[in-house]
Structure 1
Amino acid sequence: SPSSGAAGAGAADSGTEAGDAARNAAGRTAASTSTGSRPAAATMSFQVVHSSGSCLTADAELRVASCESEGRRQRFTASTDTSSIQDAGGRCLDAQEDGLLAGCQDSAAMQQWSFDALRQLLRRAPPGSAAPPPGCLAAGGTAVRVVPCNASEPEQRWQLARQLFHLPGHGP
């Protein structure tokens, strides 16, 4: 998982409710749970809901499908000390890979993401990063791809739902 100091699903231009909450949760627990100079990170578990009402689903490839109330295929996590988003199987969203899922790498620029809650965009690369030009996650039908960002395109609008925060040393 790349380290950039922000929750991948929440660190965005403005309107960063998810990232702010994850960072705040981590800040409250860092003193009691850290080992060494780097504070332990809180993680956030969530569903990614498309403007069509379908949910991001991790099968062999990333796609959208009807939202499920339970199950692991639609559960994603982001940590406060990374900008990567992982599926329940431990694979990271990767803008460079076919299927958009790959093994996580600590400093892979194409695995860095941020969620812009104000514009409802899931952006590749955190704002201000030196990574390659950003793109946004988009869905058409069941296919998911990365395209140039355009907040007026419904294909690119997402929401994070069922946000659950997991603090280090306090359960799954």
Structure 2
Amino acid sequence: MDKLVGRDPEAMRYAIKRSCENKSEVVQADEKEAGMRATLNLGHTFGHAIENGSGYGTFLHGEGVAIGTAMAATMSEKMGWIDEGLKQRIYDILESADLPLKLPKDSPMTVETFNKLMSLDKKVADGQLRLILLQGGLGGCKFTGDFDQKAMQETIEQFVAEIGEP
């Protein structure tokens, strides 16, 4: 990870090549996005709300998705779908990649903004928000509309309350 953060050309080439290969394998296995392919969107529903609510260009897409991934991991742990150790491992990986885990002190995001923007996400079907959450071991994802709404609200409230905290 240090080499990637340091923009080592060989490490970057390898990471880009493997990322493209991994994505290609997932897309080929699920061309119509009926299941496995949705896992590529982990962190995106929260992340898109952050990008949109903060003003496009405030965050790089990957930065918004990183915070969204932290939110998805937090929510998944609150629901008992993953344990605290896995959530911490995800946080540690994101942090080692020098990605943000929290909204910055000047973030305009509120609970209301999150709820409004997430309700407009492309993964809303028949008026129901569907999320990609973590379940089980590392890499275990679930694309579902059947999740604990209270856990989602608690997660949003937690991340909004932490705005400006170091």
TM-score, normalised by the number of residues in structure 2: 0.31
Larger of the two Rg values belongs to structure = 2
**Higher RCO, Cα 8 Å, sep 6+:** 1
The structure richer in helix per residue is 2
